Structure 1
Amino acid sequence: MHVFFQHSTDIWRDFPELVPAALYTEGITATVSPDARIAAHAERAAARLATASEGELPEIQAWRRTFTRMGLKPTQYRCASEALLRRFRKEGSLPRLHPLIDLCNAVSIAHAVPIAVFDVSRITSYVEVGYAAGDETYLTFGGDTEQPPAGEVIFADAAGRAHARRWTNRQSGHSAVRDTTSNVLIVAEALHDTAAKDVESLLATLTDELSTLWPVTPKSAILTPDAPRFEFPGR
Structure 2
Amino acid sequence: MNFIVAPEVFALLPEVCFGVVVVKGVDNSSARQETEELLAASVRLASEKFQTGKVKEAAEILPYREAFQTLGINPNKYMSSIEAMSSRIAKQKDFPRISPLVDLVNAVSLKHLVPMGAHDLAAADGDIQVRLSRQGDSFIPFGSDTAEILADGELIYSAGSIVKTRRWIWRQSEQGCVTGATRDVFFPIDGFYGQNEQRVIAARDELAEWLERLFAVPVTVGMVDKTNPSLAI
TM-score computed with the length of structure 1 as normaliser: 0.92
- Is 1:54–1:60's contact at 8 Å kept on the other side of the alignment? yes
Indicate the residue corresponding to 2:156 in structure 1: 154
Q: Is the 8 A contact 1:23 1:220 kept in 2?
A: yes
Q: Structure 1 residue 92: deviation in Å? A: 5.2
Q: Is the 8 A contact 2:36 2:97 kept in 1?
A: no
The match for 1:180 is: 181
Distance 1:103 1:167 in 2: 21
Which piece of structure 1 moves more, 26-35 or 59-68?
A: 26-35
1:30 — aligned with what? Answer: 29
Give identity over the alignment, percent.
24
Q: Which residue of 2 aligns with 1:15?
A: 13
CA deviations 1:195-230 (Å, max 9, x no partner) are 221111111111111112212221011212121212
What is the aligned partner in structure 1 of residue 51 from structure 2?
50
TM-score, L = length of structure 2: 0.92
Q: Which runs of 5+ in 1 are unaligned?
A: none
Q: Which residue of 2 is the match for residue 219 of structure 1?
A: 220
Structure 2, unaligned stretches of length 5 or more?
A: none
DSSP-derived class of the 1:150 partner: coil
Which string of whole-angstrom CA distances, capped at 9 and with x for unpartnered residues, describes residues 7-26 of structure 1?
11110122112121111101
- Superposition CA RMSD, Å: 1.6
Query: What count of residue pairs does the alignment treat as equivalent?
Result: 229
What is the deviation of 1:51? 4.8
The 3 A distance-change label for structure 1 pair 217 and 4 is: same
Match of residue 84 from structure 1:
85
CA deviations on 1:134-174 (whole Å, 9 max, x unpaired) are 3211111122200111000111222x111110000010101
Q: What CA deviation, in whole Å up to 9, does each residue of 1:90-144 have, x standing for no partner? A: 1254111111111111211222211110000000110110111132111111222
Once structures 1 and 2 are overlaid, which stretch shifts more, 117-126 or 103-112?
103-112
Three-state SS of the structure 2 residue aligned to 1:173 is coil
Deviation for aligned residue 1:187:
0.5
Distance, in Å, in 1 between the alignment partners of 2:76 and 2:58 is: 14
SS at match of 2:72: coil
State whether residues 114 and 189 of structure 2, in contact with CA within 8 Å, keep that contact through their aligned partners in structure 1: yes
